[in-house]
């Protein structure tokens, strides 16, 4: 049986089509086929959260989904969110609060927080901590990340994933 497959999807607004191995997962597809290297690969078993991307409006693990499953879907990565400015307030807060150190987990962390901003903008500190509990950061100890979320939601401009 053919182990290759055709896929087409919109990535950061752009239509893309490729013929790929069926086993290729979404994050490898984004990185290797499209050169979108902002989403990172940290474990390939769905634990670290570094590969978090948005598919049809919701965050998923890019390593726990074959690219073929996203055929026809609307996929957004950190590059797309940066270009549209949707999470500018979060990004600014991350820089100001030093909520990133090595930056490897940061794209996945930001996508996760963008979804929290949409679902529960008023989240308490412990709710923020729970929401990011599937995203590894080995540098910061998370406190700065929680602070940055709080800073971003109270920032006047940008809105950081603000659904309002």
Partner 1 sequence: MKPAPFAYVRAATLDDALRTLEEHGDGARVLAGGQSLMATLNMRLSAPEVLVDIGRVDGLAGIEDTGDTLRIGAMTRHVEVETSELVAEHAPLVASAMPHIAHPAIRNAGTFGGSIAFADPAAELPACAVALGARMTIAGKAGSRTVEADAFFRGLYETAIAPREILTAVEVPKIAPGWKSGLMELARRHGDYAIIGLAAHVEVEGGRFGGGRLVFFGAGDHPVAAAQTAALLEGETWSDRLADRLAASLKEELDPFEDLNADAAMRRHLAGVLVKRTLGPLAAA
Partner 2 sequence: MTDLIADRWILDRPNSYIGRSVPRPNAPRLAEGRGTFVDDVPLGPRAGHVAFVRSPHAHARMRSIDTEAARASPGVIAVLTGRDLAAIHDPWIGVLTHLEGLKSAPQYALPLDTATWQGEAVAAVVADSRARAEDAAELVAIVWEVLPAVTDPASALDPDTPVIHESLGDNLAWRRNVDFGDIEAAYAEADHVIEETFVFARHTGVCVEPRAILADWNPAEEQLTVWHNTQCPHMIQNILATHYRLDEHRVRVIAGDVGGSFGIKVHTYADEIATVGLSILLKRPVKFVADRMESFVTDIHARAQTVKGRIAVRNDGTILGFEIDALSGIGPYSMYPRTSGIEANQIVNLMGGPYEFDHYRAQATVVFQNKNMMCQYRAVGHPVKCAVTEGLVDAAARATGLDPAELRQRNLRADDSYPCRSVQGLPFENLSHEESLAKLLEAMDYEALKDERDALREEGVYRGIGLASFIEVTNPSAMFYGVGGARISAQDGATMRLDARGNVFVATGATEQGQGMEAVISQVAATAVGVPPERLKIVTGDTEHTPYGGGTWASRAAGIGGEAVARAGRALREQILRAAATMLQEDAANLDIRNGVVVEAQTGAERIGLDEIGRICYYRPDTLPDGFQSELVATRHYVPRKYPFAFTNGVQASYLEVDVETGFITLLDHWCIEDCGTVINPLLVDEQIRGGIVQGLGGALFEECVYDRDGQMLNATMADYLVPMAAELPDMQCGHVESPTAESDLGAKGAGEAGTCGAPAAVMNALNDALAPLGASRLTDMPFTPRKVLRALGRI
Q: Which is nearer to partner 2, 70 or 136 (CB)?
A: 136
Site of tokens 């073929």: 68
- By CB under 8 A, the count of residues binding partner 1 is 35
Q: Which is nearer to partner 2, 43 or 56 (CB)?
A: 43
Quick check: 39 and 52 in contact, CB under 8 A? yes
Cα separation, 53 vs 65, in Å, equals 11
CA distances from 25 to 44, 92, 134 (A): 9, 31, 19
Structure tokens at 102: 């090595």
Minimal distance in Å, beta carbon 157 to partner 1?
Answer: 26
71 binds, options partner 2, partner 1, none, Cβ within 5 to 8 A by partner type: partner 1
Q: Which is nearer to partner 2, 9 or 90 (CB)?
A: 90
Cα separation, 23 vs 28, in Å, equals 10
In the 8-state DSSP scheme, what is residue 136? Answer: -
Q: Give me the count of residues in the chain.
A: 164
Residue 134 engages partner 1 in binding (rule: CB under 8 A) = yes
Using H for helix, E for strand and C for coil, what is the string for 123-149? Answer: CCHHHHHHHCCCCCCCCCCCHHHHHHH
Label residue 35 exposed, middle or buried (CB < 10 Å: 0-12, 13-18, 19+).
exposed
86 binds, options partner 2, partner 1, none, Cβ within 5 to 8 A by partner type: none
Minimal distance in Å, beta carbon 64 to partner 1?
Answer: 4
Contact residues for partner 2 (CB under 8 A)? 21, 23-24, 31, 35-45, 47-48, 50, 77-79, 82, 91, 94-98, 100-107, 110, 125-126, 128-130, 132-146
Residue 124 engages partner 1 in binding (rule: CB under 8 A) = no
Out of 1, 122, 163, 164, point to the residue binding partner 1 (CB under 8 A).
1
Residue 76 engages partner 1 in binding (rule: CB under 8 A) = no
């Amino acid at each position: 049986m053919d182990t290759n497959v055709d896929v087409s999807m919109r990535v950061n607004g752009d239509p893309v089509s490729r013929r790929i191995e069926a086993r290729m997962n979404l994050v490898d597809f984004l990185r290797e086929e499209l050169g979108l290297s902002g989403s990172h690969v940290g474990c390939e078993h769905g634990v670290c959260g570094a590969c978090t991307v948005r598919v049809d409006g919701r965050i998923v693990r890019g390593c726990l989904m074959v690219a073929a499953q996203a055929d026809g879907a609307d996929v957004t990565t950190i590059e797309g969110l940066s270009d549209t400015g949707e999470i500018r307030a979060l990004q600014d807060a991350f820089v100001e609060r030093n909520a990133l150190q090595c930056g490897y987990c940061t794209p996945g962390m930001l996508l996760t927080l963008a979804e929290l901003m949409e679902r529960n903008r008023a989240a308490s500190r412990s709710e923020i901590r729970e929401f990011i509990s599937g995203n590894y950061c080995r540098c910061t100890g998370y406190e700065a990340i929680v602070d940055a979320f709080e800073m971003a939601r109270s920032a006047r401009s940008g809105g950081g994933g603000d659904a309002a």
